[in-house]
Amino acid sequence: MERRELFSSLASSFNKEARDETKNNILLRPPYFQNESDFHKECINCNGKCSNFCEEHIIKIGEDKTPYLDFTNSGCTYCDECAKACEYEVLNIEHKKQINAKISIDIIKCLSWNQTMCFSCKDPCLDDAIEFLGMFRPQIIDDKCTSCGFCIKACPTQAIEIKIIEQG
C-alpha cells in the first residue's frame, strides 16, 4: 500500500470511530461546563451564541441544538469567550477550565513509534505536554496536557486519540 493510501485509510477509520462516539451521544463539549444535563435543558432556548463567539471556529451546534467541539481544523485557546457569551450559564468561567477529554497517542498508528521520524505533534503543543523518549517514542504527559486539541490536526496519521470523559 502506498504511503498516501495508508494515511487515507487510517483517516477514514478515525472518522468512523468519531461517528460511533457521536452515535452513543457522548460528545466533546466546550470547556467551562459543569453538568452535561445543562446542555439539554438550556441550549434548546439559545441560538448557539457560544459557537458564534469562538474565534477558532471549533464549536459546532448539533441537531439537538447543543454545542460540541470539532478539532479538525484548530484547537481551544481557553480564551473564555464562549463562556462569556453564554447567557444561560451552561458555560461559565467559574467552572473548571478543562475540556472533557483525555488525549493520548495510539502507538500502532504513530509514525515515530514505528521507526519513521516525525515530530509534527510536538510544535503545536504550547504546553510542552508531548515528550519524546529517545527519538521515536512520543508520549503525552497527562499532568501537562490541557486537552486543547491543537496536536490533533498536526498528526499525519490521525494517531492522536480523544477519549471523552463523561461528566455530570
Residue ranges in contact with ligand SF4 by CB under 6 A: 30-31, 42-43, 46, 48-50, 53-54, 56, 58-59, 67, 76-82, 85-86, 88, 90-91, 103, 124-125, 127, 129-130, 140, 145-151
Question: Smaller CB distance to ligand SF4: residue 3 or 109?
Answer: 109
The DSSP secondary-structure symbol of 143 reads: T
d(CA 117, CA 152): 18
CA–CA distance, 139 with 105 (Å, rounded to integer)? 7
**Minimum distance from CB of 149 to ligand SF4 (Å)?**
5
C-alpha grid cell, residue 45 = 432556548
Nearer of residues 10 and 66 to ligand SF4, judged by Cβ = 66
Which residue, 10 or 39, has its beta carbon nearer to ligand SF4?
A: 39
Note the residue count of the chain. Answer: 168
- 140 strand-pairing partners: 130
Question: Least distance to ligand SF4 from the beta carbon of 20, Å?
Answer: 21
- State the nearest-atom distance from the C-beta of 12 to ligand SF4, in Å: 22
C-alpha to C-alpha distances, 35 to 70, 105, 123, nearest whole angstrom: 20, 28, 33
